[in-house]
């Protein structure tokens, strides 16, 4: 098995790296009927959606797309939301990322399915190349500060890997958003002050202020801006520029942006998102941190 141990093949298209901290697989077999229905709505036809999925199930095609978009690295998240057997999802992500160190795999674990999450995490990181952990409290129905998870947090801390959590709303079936409130990260940040805690979607929907409060209070808590309309970021987080050290660019690619008001899904335009963030009105230094430098540090990239 190919073990990726260094990241020296950094291809920097810009002076500074661009890192997408939130990407998913597009393999059709990882999607449930409900999700196919929602995602296909963003495409002119179901046929085009299936063709898209087939194309980008090949990591080489995705790497080509990254080249076109000017994205240097992508964090590819295993997602148990779409698949009951999250270990199978971990395997798919492992295989996908094996072809290039520019693809950075994050595994997932479900406290109801993995009784020894701490040991499993060690195995996944040491023997399968995973560089981080993604947890889905809203899909797997647990509170992030549940003490049952503390051994796995201690392990992540020891391995020095970031832990990303889905926060806020979701359109997918069976999600319970009460588990997505960022306030629970207060306990984690206090009990694990060294652990790198990432709130994906920044508490999307009802809890942007709560997410921002966590960022203000705790240096080890970050917001990944995926799944949020980039042009509204400064309305959503007016302090984003001041706290630029704790924001991470992410797209949630290939998940479309879903408008809860008109129930319409729109395909994510990564290039447009990047340009919007560059022109938000925050300083170039802050933008560079958000677009890649913070992620570079979190991931320990050269």
Judged by CB, which is closer to Zn ion: 288, or 298?
A: 298
The minimum distance between CB 252 and Zn ion, in angstroms, equals: 4
Minimum distance from residue 89 beta carbon to Zn ion (Å): 13
Footprint of Zn ion on residues 18-37 (CB under 5 A)? none
Which residue number has the CB closest to Zn ion?
Answer: 252
Q: Report how far Cα 195 is from the mean position of its chain's Cα atoms.
A: 16
Q: Which range of residues in 8-16, 246-254, 260-268, 283-291 is near Zn ion by CB under 5 A?
A: 246-254
User: Measured from the CB atom, is 72 or 252 closer to Zn ion?
Assistant: 252
Residues contacting Zn ion: total by CB under 5 A:
1
User: 222 near 247, Cβ under 8 Å?
Assistant: yes
From 12-20, 94-102, 168-176, 250-258, span contacting Zn ion (CB under 5 A): 250-258
3-state secondary structure of 239: coil
- Shortest distance (Å) from residue 22 CB to Zn ion: 6
Token digits of residue 187: 């306990």
- Binding residue for Zn ion, selected from 27, 94, 252, 293, defined by CB under 5 A: 252
Which of 252, 293 has the CB closer to Zn ion? Answer: 252
Given the complex with Zn ion, which of 93 and 288 has the nearer CB atom? Answer: 93
Query: Tokens 């509204």 map to which residue?
Result: 232
Helix/strand/coil for 132: strand
Selected range binding Zn ion among 148-156, 244-252, 270-278, 285-293, rule: CB under 5 A? 244-252
**What is the closest distance, in whole angstroms, from the C-beta atom of residue 224 to Zn ion in the complex?**
9
What 8-state DSSP symbol labels residue 253?
B
Tokens of 233: 């970021």
Q: Is 232 exposed, middle or buried (0-12, 13-18, 19+ CB in 10 A)?
A: exposed
* Residues 78/108, Cβ–Cβ less than 8 Å: yes
Taking CB under 5 A as the binding criterion, the range among 43-51, 53-61, 242-250, 251-259 that sits at the site for Zn ion is 251-259
The rounded distance, in Å, linking the Cα atoms of 203 and 168 is 4
State how far the alpha carbon of 259 is from the alpha carbons of 195, 205, 206, 207, 227, in Å.
33, 11, 15, 17, 11
* β pairing state of 247-248 and 257-259: unpaired
Contact 82, 111 (CB under 8 A): no
Among 50-58, 125-133, 137-145, 245-253, the segment contacting Zn ion (CB under 5 A): 245-253
Interface ranges with Zn ion (CB under 5 A): 252
């Amino acid at each position: 098995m190919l073990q990726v141990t260094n990241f020296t093949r950094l291809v920097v298209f810009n002076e500074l790296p661009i890192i997408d901290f939130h990407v998913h697989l597009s393999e059709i077999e990882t999607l449930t009927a409900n999700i196919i229905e929602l995602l296909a709505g963003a495409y002119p036809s179901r046929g085009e959606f299936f063709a898209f999925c087939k194309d980008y199930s090949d990591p080489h095609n995705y790497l080509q797309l990254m080249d076109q978009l000017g994205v240097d690295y992508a964090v590819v998240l295993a997602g148990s939301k779409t698949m009951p057997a999250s270990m199978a999802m971990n395997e798919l992500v492992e295989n996908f990322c094996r072809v290039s160190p520019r693809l950075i795999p994050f595994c997932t674990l479900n406290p109801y399915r993995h009784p020894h999450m701490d040991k499993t995490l060690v195995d996944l990181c040491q023997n399968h190349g995973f560089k981080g952990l993604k947890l889905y409290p809203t899909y797997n129905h647990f509170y992030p500060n549940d003490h049952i998870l503390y051994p796995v947090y201690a392990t992540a801390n020891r391995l020095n890997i970031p832990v990303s959590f889905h926060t806020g709303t979701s359109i997918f079936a069976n999600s319970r958003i009460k588990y997505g409130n960022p306030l629970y990260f207060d306990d984690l940040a206090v009990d694990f002050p060294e652990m790198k805690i990432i709130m994906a979607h920044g508490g999307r929907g009802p809890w942007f202020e709560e997410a921002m409060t966590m960022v203000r209070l705790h240096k080890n808590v970050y917001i990944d801006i995926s799944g949020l309309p980039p042009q509204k970021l400064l309305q959503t987080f007016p302090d984003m520029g001041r706290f630029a050290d704790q924001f991470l660019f992410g797209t949630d690619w290939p998940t479309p942006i879903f408008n809860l008001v008109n129930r319409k899904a729109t395909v994510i335009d990564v290039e447009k998102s990047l340009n919007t963030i560059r022109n938000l009105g925050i300083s170039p230094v802050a933008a560079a941190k958000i677009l890649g430098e913070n992620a570079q540090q979190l991931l320990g990239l050269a």
